[in-house]
């Protein structure tokens, strides 16, 4: 069996086969990877516990698949092209050979610092090649990485470090983002006040901002590399891992206040990310592939690092932001490195579209053959702009739908092979069995229907548990519908059987493609000393997709509402990070609650959306009058 699907008929045949004989199908896919020892059993599962095991007994190391196995043929091929924040700084290229050397070197640094198989390592780094190197070095020795996105606060880092009992943190002095310098080490220092498990911090030099280095705990990345060099730069053989050993933890938001550590394992994740990368983007050996995500999110894990590298691809990594020095930066990068495949998020597309066509019209984008979109629903206007201005009408767009918990893409066009419709994720990839359910738990069959999106059957890349709390994993994903994985998304299946994701049906927001739980934001707002209570909902935002709207009951001793708003924003930035700051804060004297004390978010959502004419039934409210007050306040806020 070929790894890549070649035609629509081939897709249909492969899909059919993958549903009829899933184990045979996935064994065939897994045969395209390098295993030290073959598995005994392809799949062992039930969604009740849940128990999900793929390729049990199989032994491997994912870095041998991403690096070693390519050296003979592709040793001198660029594995990573790195484009810095500042276009005047030189870009860097790491060939597969060089990347392997650096990964082994840093893996030895980790070992020298006492890290062994199974230890948890927190990584808080900017988008520099060393981030990919650190991730792969952990995988090399079987340490479990937990990457924390550089936009999260000290408190968020501390929560994640403590939840996973990390022994070591890898960070840098600072990071560059546009004109800003962010002091990462000092944020880590604040976090570590609360973290007993951390014995060592490795600090990379990037911005050379002054940092405090604590004797006995903090060491410089560069010094540690020198030590390994003076030891004669020994190789670092890959640790042999079981297919079901943990590869990494990545925290993500849900409908409760506390982010959960999604756990992915070595074998299944490798097979799934590699397979989906090769297929969705139809990667060809000479192509340059550019994913604009941050490695701090799942998209970066799966489609900057593991997926592309396991397929011997050239993966371009960008440190900066799409709008600096101007809104043409991504197109400059495409032109400079002759990028063939571009994978980005609707928020980026919308903000560049809003900046005007002058930033793109004079750029040579002729190298582009395929486009991808990820992380949030793409509106038709943005889809068409992407298609016409960037793809020049002949680069297929893969609108890829998936989640942190999925490991890789589940529903998406296969570029150039399966059909596309603006705003549609279209068809499930082989091995993926979507099903729609109504609120009562009945499956909705047939076409031209909508419902809550579930998966009937496991796939190798799916989460295995939530770190340290298996029951939470069961509750969140496997308890809503019997024997189903529940995604939390609503979905339409049109007359032709094509899927269109309609957005979250739970209390999770998607702001600029970042997942944020409303409960999490409420908890942070409620930390502010003047806040009595708050309720957070999403509302449509022209660039971010969704904005954060907070209704806040505050103590009345503050006369300047705007100052209080700023204080609340500051509090949220401290507790979660700037990405969770509300876009709008409306002060209210009460919240619409049922007699049992439940906040009726449906009403708040409508008010935030500006749809006040039809609020539905408000007679069950404890105090219907509060709704009128909130409506008037919202009107005022809109100005």
How would you classify the pairing of strands 180-182 and 175-177?
antiparallel
**How far is Cα 538 from Cα 302, in angstroms, rounded to an integer?**
28
Nearer to ligand WTA, 63 or 273 (CB): 273
Query: Could you give the string, one character per residue 513-532, with x where binding to ligand WTA holds by CB under 6 A and - elsewhere?
Result: --x-----------------
Cβ neighbour number for residue 515 with a 10 Å cutoff: 22
- Confirm if 406 and 477 have CB atoms less than 8 A apart: no
Nearer to ligand WTA, 420 or 534 (CB): 420
User: In the complex, what is the shortest distance from the CB of residue 52 to ligand WTA, in angstroms, rounded to a whole number?
Assistant: 18
Query: Could you give the string, one character per residue 174-213, with x where binding to ligand WTA holds by CB under 6 A and - elsewhere?
Result: ----------------------------------------
User: In the complex, what is the shortest distance from the CB of residue 303 to ligand WTA, in angstroms, rounded to a whole number?
Assistant: 9
Near ligand WTA by CB under 6 A: residue from 171, 344, 400, 569:
400
Give the total of residues touching ligand WTA (CB under 6 A): 22
Residue 541 binding ligand WTA, by CB under 6 A: no
Nearer to ligand WTA, 194 or 255 (CB): 255
- Confirm if 399 and 371 have CB atoms less than 8 A apart: no
Nearer to ligand WTA, 404 or 564 (CB): 404
**How far is Cα 51 from Cα 534, in angstroms, rounded to an integer?**
38
Query: CA-based angle 51:52:56, to the nearest 5?
Result: 115
The angle that helices 561-575 and 154-164 make with each other, rounded to 10 degrees, is 30
User: In the complex, what is the shortest distance from the CB of residue 513 to ligand WTA, in angstroms, rounded to a whole number?
Assistant: 7
Residue 467 binding ligand WTA, by CB under 6 A: no
**How far is Cα 2 from Cα 344, in angstroms, rounded to an integer?**
28
User: In the complex, what is the shortest distance from the CB of residue 491 to ligand WTA, in angstroms, rounded to a whole number?
Assistant: 9
User: In the complex, what is the shortest distance from the CB of residue 335 to ligand WTA, in angstroms, rounded to a whole number?
Assistant: 26
Stretch that binds ligand WTA, among 88-96, 155-163, 399-407, 592-600 (CB under 6 A): 399-407
Burial class of residue 440, CB neighbours in 10 A (0-12, 13-18, 19+): exposed
Residue 402 binding ligand WTA, by CB under 6 A: yes
Stretch that binds ligand WTA, among 102-110, 139-147, 224-232, 372-380 (CB under 6 A): 372-380
Cβ neighbour number for residue 455 with a 10 Å cutoff: 21
Point out which residues pair with 455 in neighbouring strands. Answer: 434, 485
Residue 399 binding ligand WTA, by CB under 6 A: yes
| Residues 6 or more apart whose Cβ sits within 8 Å of residue 632 | none
CA 516 to chain centre: 12
Residue 320 binding ligand WTA, by CB under 6 A: no
Nearer to ligand WTA, 375 or 431 (CB): 375
Near ligand WTA by CB under 6 A: residue from 155, 175, 404, 452:
404
Which residue carries 């690092």 as its tokens?
305
Nearer to ligand WTA, 242 or 387 (CB): 387
Query: Could you give the string, one character per residue 485-514, with x where binding to ligand WTA holds by CB under 6 A and - elsewhere?
Result: --xxx-----------x--x-----x----
- Token digits of residue 534: 């708050």
User: In the complex, what is the shortest distance from the CB of residue 618 to ligand WTA, in angstroms, rounded to a whole number?
Assistant: 29
DSSP letter string over 107-158?
Answer: HHHHHHTT--TT-EEEEE--SSHHHHHHHHHHHHHTPEEEE--TTB-HHHHH
Helices (H) and strands (E) in the chain, counts: 21, 31
Please count the CA atoms within 13 angstroms of the CA of 506 that sit on its side-chain side.
Answer: 18
Near ligand WTA by CB under 6 A: residue from 272, 275, 401, 499:
401
Nearer to ligand WTA, 382 or 425 (CB): 425
CA 544 to chain centre: 16
For 47-62, the three-class secondary structure string (H helix, E strand, C coil) is CCCCEEEEEECCEECH
User: In the complex, what is the shortest distance from the CB of residue 487 to ligand WTA, in angstroms, rounded to a whole number?
Assistant: 6
**How far is Cα 103 from Cα 140, in angstroms, rounded to an integer?**
8
User: In the complex, what is the shortest distance from the CB of residue 184 to ligand WTA, in angstroms, rounded to a whole number?
Assistant: 22
**Site residues (CB under 6 A) for ligand WTA, limited to 282-301:** 297-299
**Site residues (CB under 6 A) for ligand WTA, limited to 423-442:** 425
CA distances from 476 to 255, 465, 491, 598 (A): 9, 10, 18, 20
Nearer to ligand WTA, 47 or 297 (CB): 297
User: In the complex, what is the shortest distance from the CB of residue 408 to ligand WTA, in angstroms, rounded to a whole number?
Assistant: 9
For 45-105, the three-class secondary structure string (H helix, E strand, C coil) is EECCCCEEEEEECCEECHHHHHHHHHHHHHCCCEEEEEECCCCCCCCEEEEHHHHHHHHHH
Residue 119 binding ligand WTA, by CB under 6 A: no
Nearer to ligand WTA, 18 or 512 (CB): 512
**How far is Cα 68 from Cα 117, in angstroms, rounded to an integer?**
19
User: In the complex, what is the shortest distance from the CB of residue 181 to ligand WTA, in angstroms, rounded to a whole number?
Assistant: 26
- Token digits of residue 445: 């069959």
Stretch that binds ligand WTA, among 93-101, 165-173, 396-404, 477-485 (CB under 6 A): 396-404
Near ligand WTA by CB under 6 A: residue from 68, 130, 376, 520:
376
Please count the CA atoms within 13 angstroms of the CA of 439 that sit on its side-chain side.
Answer: 2
Closest residue to ligand WTA in the complex (CB): 404
User: In the complex, what is the shortest distance from the CB of residue 299 to ligand WTA, in angstroms, rounded to a whole number?
Assistant: 5
Near ligand WTA by CB under 6 A: residue from 138, 374, 426, 575:
374
User: In the complex, what is the shortest distance from the CB of residue 117 to ligand WTA, in angstroms, rounded to a whole number?
Assistant: 27
**Site residues (CB under 6 A) for ligand WTA, limited to 224-283:** 252
Nearer to ligand WTA, 296 or 458 (CB): 296
**How far is Cα 146 from Cα 124, in angstroms, rounded to an integer?**
9
| Residues 6 or more apart whose Cβ sits within 8 Å of residue 66 | 136, 305, 306, 309, 310
User: In the complex, what is the shortest distance from the CB of residue 403 to ligand WTA, in angstroms, rounded to a whole number?
Assistant: 4
Sites of contact with ligand WTA (CB under 6 A): 252, 297-299, 374-377, 399-404, 425, 487-489, 501, 504, 510, 515
């Amino acid at each position: 069996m070929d790894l890549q699907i070649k035609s629509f008929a081939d897709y249909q045949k492969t899909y059919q086969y993958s549903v009829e004989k899933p184990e045979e199908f996935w064994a065939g896919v897994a045969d395209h990877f390098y295993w030290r020892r073959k598995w005994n059993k392809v799949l062992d599962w039930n969604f009740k516990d849940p128990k999900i095991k793929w390729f049990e007994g199989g032994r491997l190391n994912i870095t041998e698949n991403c690096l070693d196995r390519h050296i003979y043929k592709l040793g001198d091929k660029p594995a990573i092209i790195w484009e810095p924040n500042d276009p005047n700084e030189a870009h860097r290229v790491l060939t597969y050979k060089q990347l392997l050397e650096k990964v082994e070197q840093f893996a030895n640094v980790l070992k020298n610092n006492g890290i062994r198989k199974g230890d948890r390592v927190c990584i808080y780094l900017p988008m520099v090649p060393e981030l990919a190197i650190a991730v792969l070095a952990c995988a090399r020795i079987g340490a479990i990485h937990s990457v924390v996105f550089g936009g999260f606060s000290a408190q968020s880092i501390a929560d994640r470090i403590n939840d996973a009992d990390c022994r070591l943190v890898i960070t840098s002095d600072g990071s560059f983002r546009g004109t800003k310098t962010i002091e990462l080490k000092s944020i880590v220092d604040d976090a570590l006040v609360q973290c007993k498990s951390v014995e060592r911090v490795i600090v990379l030099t990037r911005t050379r901002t002054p940092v405090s280095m604590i004797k006995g705990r903090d060491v410089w990345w560069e010094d540690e590399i020198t030590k390994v060099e003076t030891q004669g730069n020994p190789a670092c053989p890959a640790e042999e891992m079981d297919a079901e050993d943990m590869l990494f933890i990545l925290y993500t938001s849900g409908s409760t206040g506390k982010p959960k550590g999604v756990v992915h394992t070595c074998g299944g994740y490798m097979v799934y990310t590699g397979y989906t990368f090769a297929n969705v983007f139809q990667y060809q050996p000479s192509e340059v592939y550019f994913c604009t995500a941050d490695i701090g999110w799942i998209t970066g894990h799966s489609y900057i690092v593991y997926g592309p590298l396991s397929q011997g691809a050239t993966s371009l990594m960008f440190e900066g932001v799409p709008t600096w020095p101007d809104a043409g930066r991504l197109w400059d990068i495409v032109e400079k490195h002759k990028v063939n495949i571009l994978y980005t998020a609707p928020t980026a597309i919308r903000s560049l579209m809003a900046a005007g066509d002058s930033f793109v019209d004079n750029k040579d984008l002729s190298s582009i053959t395929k486009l991808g979109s990820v992380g949030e629903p793409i509106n038709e206007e943005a889809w068409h702009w992407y298609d016409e201005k960037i793809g020049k009408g002949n680069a297929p767009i893969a609108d890829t739908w998936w989640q942190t918990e999925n490991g890789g893409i589940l529903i998406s066009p296969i570029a150039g092979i399966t059909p596309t419709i603006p705003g549609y994720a279209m068809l499930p990839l082989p091995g993926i069995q979507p099903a729609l359910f109504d609120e009562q738990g009945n499956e909705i069959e047939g076409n031209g229907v909508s419902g809550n999106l579930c998966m009937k059957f496991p796939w190798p890349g799916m989460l295995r548990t939530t770190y340290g709390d298996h029951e939470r994993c069961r509750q969140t994903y496997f308890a809503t519908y019997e024997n189903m994985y529940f995604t939390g998304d609503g979905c339409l299946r049109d007359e032709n059987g094509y899927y269109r994701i309609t957005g979250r049906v739970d209390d999770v927001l998607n702001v600029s493609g970042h997942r944020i739980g409303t409960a999490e934001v409420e908890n942070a707002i409620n930390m502010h000393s003047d806040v009595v209570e708050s309720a957070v909902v999403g509302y449509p935002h022209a660039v971010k997709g969704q904005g954060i709207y907070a209704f806040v009951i505050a103590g009345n001793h503050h006369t300047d509402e705007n100052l209080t708003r700023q204080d609340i924003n500051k509090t949220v930035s401290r507790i979660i990070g700037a990405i969770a700051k509300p876009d709008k804060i409306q002060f209210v004297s009460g919240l619409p609650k049922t007699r049992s004390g439940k906040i009726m978010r449906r009403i708040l959502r409508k008010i935030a959306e500006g749809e006040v004419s039809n609020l539905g039934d408000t007679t069950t409210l404890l105090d219907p009058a509060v709704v009128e007050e909130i409506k008037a306040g919202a009107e005022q806020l809109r100005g």
